[in-house]
């Protein structure tokens, strides 16, 4: 099983960061990374089963959402290159926030099955790093 892990510490209240990042259908906090979010279906922004397409390429489904624990999980159902449905399976991404003495730790991780685990990690890690940098910039 392949894995990715990225994190960032942000000097801002956890609730403020959660408000920015928790809407599955809104990634306006990362405009240089995510240029388009298309809502698919009728599920709301935090409803299990909510679907989105990012940058006309990444098809994702919200599979867990826990506002009380500041975390959500999603699957990548299809995407470009190494995250295409015929190249990877069981791709689960997890976003988790925690408070460390007034500093918010944002963790973005994933696990997946692929014959090319390194290729998937090399593809996804820079995206997660860019997303976390954009989130930190929003609160700087």
pLDDT for res 128: 98
pLDDT along the chain (140 residues), means of 10: 98 97 97 97 97 98 98 98 97 97 96 97 98 96
pTM of the model: 0.95
Paired with 66 in beta bridges are 71
Interacting residues of 9 by C-beta distance below 8 A, sequence separation 6+: 100, 103, 104, 105, 106
Domain at 2-138, CATH from 3.30.530.20, 3.30.420.40, 3.40.50.300, 3.40.50.150 = 3.30.530.20
Interacting residues of 140 by C-beta distance below 8 A, sequence separation 6+: none
What are the boundaries of each domain within the chain?
A: 2-138
Closest CA to 48 of 36, 60, 56: 60
pLDDT for res 121: 97
Paired with 70 in beta bridges are none
Tokens 């298309």, located at residue: 38
Entry field: residues in the chain: 140
Cα 40 to Cα 48: distance, rounded to the nearest angstrom = 13
Q: At what angle do helices 117-138 and 14-21 cross, to 10 degrees?
A: 120
pLDDT for res 102: 87
């Amino acid at each position: 099983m392949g894995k990715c892990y990225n994190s960032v510490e942000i000097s801002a209240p956890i609730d403020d960061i959660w408000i920015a990042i928790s809407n599955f259908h809104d990634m306006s906090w990362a405009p240089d990374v995510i240029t388009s979010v298309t809502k698919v279906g009728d599920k709301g922004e935090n409803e299990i089963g909510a679907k989105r397409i990012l940058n006309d390429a990444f098809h994702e489904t919200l599979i867990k959402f826990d506002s009380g624990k500041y975390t959500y999980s999603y699957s990548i159902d299809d995407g470009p290159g190494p995250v295409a449905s015929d190249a990877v399976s069981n791709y689960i991404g997890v976003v988790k926030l925690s408070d460390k003495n007034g500093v918010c730790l944002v963790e973005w991780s994933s696990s997946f099955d692929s014959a090319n685990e390194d290729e998937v990690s090399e593809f996804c890690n820079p995206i997660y790093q860019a997303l976390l940098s954009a989130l930190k910039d929003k609160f700087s």
